[in-house]
A and B are shown apart, each in its own frame.
Chain A
């Protein structure tokens, strides 16, 4: 019985190595599994902000206000805009008074270089993400009955902001600020999602 030579076999192997085959599964099959495991972030209103620049702008404003509110809540300052305005002067005079020891960045801070500013931004966003995660995990404790509604509202807001950031990424995929905010939003969203899914009794035990 004749056999292939070594060269002939090597040639067939090389042909097999170079051969192209379609994937074994369709993406929707893989995506369904990933979704089951929570690896894919659900976005019910995936195209919610697509093609609606005013919504994106509104969401961006929402993000800024939300960020300010969370930041102020973190250091124990009032969160409503009116309160913010009326208490600015008081805060200035009492800036060194006792309170949470949170390092403050001066509003008039100047930066020596782009790297300097980028490093500050990185640090600030790192703090922001940690604070968001902490707040999302611990809640305010002030309201108990309405907690789940608050978390749901927060989740909905984060969902919209996330979508807006995602749309912005289509236009500017390499913009560092958009990417940072996108990732921060997604982090806060995951933490909030966990709170929303947590049974009410469990959520309240920690307060």
Chain B
């Protein structure tokens, strides 16, 4: 049964069944963007809980100006990026202490063979992964990404270029095994 205005009212009133219907309908898409941005299943599960709490808290403010899925998707992206920023601040402190870690990671990348694009995305830097996911997978423009991440559209384009180059390298071994993947003539569907 599709989620409708009555379900929305009931969910705002705290009706568990209506809330569950909302979650069931939108969780696959919402959780997917969280998982892609995080690149770590366990972390993504934690952040997803926060995202859903935020969606439920914000329900009374949903005015129906956009599709519910679009509205919830925005919350998911914002909440996830905020959570990642906090984690990154902590991680930066740790990296400052263990200053050899960056080199170690680069060495590991040389021998890493990704079995899927999802796996390959985990090898991107958080910033490059966010730009790649938002642009190529979720369909954001560079302007929108710039607003979300606090960077310029040019910076977003640059990050995307690097991300795609690295992904092509990480997935290169799939070329011979998966010629059908080539998909000659397929249009690039991501926005500019």
Contacts and interface: CB of A to CB of B under 8 A. Distances in A.
A12 interface: yes
B19 A16 contact: no
A40 B118 contact: no
Given A24-B44, A24-B48, A27-B24, A3 B168 contact: yes
Contacts of B20: 27, 31
Interface stretch (B65-73, B147-155, B171-179): B171-179
Interface stretch (A70-78, A99-107, A179-187): A179-187
Interface in A1-38: 1-17, 19-25, 27, 29-31, 33-34, 37-38
B97 interface: no
A8 B175 contact: yes
B9 interface: yes
B180 to A, nearest CB: 9
Contacts of B181: 4, 8, 11-12
A10 B183 contact: yes
B182 A5 contact: yes
Interface stretch (B25-33, B81-89, B99-107, B122-130): B25-33
Contacts of B137: 13, 16-17
Contacts of B14: 38-41, 186, 190
A3 B172 contact: yes
Contact of B188 (A10, A22, A37): A10
Contacts of A21: 28, 31-32, 35
Interface string B1-45: 000001001100111100110011001100110111000010011
B106 to A, nearest CB: 15
A67 to B, nearest CB: 18
B86 to A, nearest CB: 19
B172 A23 contact: no
B171 A30 contact: no
Given A6-B188, A21-B31, A37-B57, 12 more contacts: A6-B164, A7-B186, A9-B171, A12-B117, A14-B186, A23-B27, A23-B48, A24-B48, A34-B52, A39-B53, A179-B9, A182-B13
25 contacts: A1-B169, A1-B172, A4-B167, A4-B168, A6-B188, A8-B174, A8-B181, A8-B182, A10-B190, A11-B181, A11-B182, A16-B137, A20-B28, A22-B28, A24-B41, A25-B45, A25-B52, A27-B24, A31-B20, A33-B52, A34-B19, A38-B14, A39-B57, A41-B14, A173-B6
Interface of B: 6, 9-10, 13-16, 19-20, 23-24, 27-28, 31-32, 34-36, 41, 44-45, 48-49, 52-53, 56-57, 116-118, 136-137, 164, 167-169, 171-172, 174-175, 181-186, 188-190
State the 8 A-B residue pairs at the shortest beta-carbon distance, nearest first.
A41-B14, A11-B183, A23-B27, A186-B13, A4-B168, A24-B48, A24-B45, A3-B168
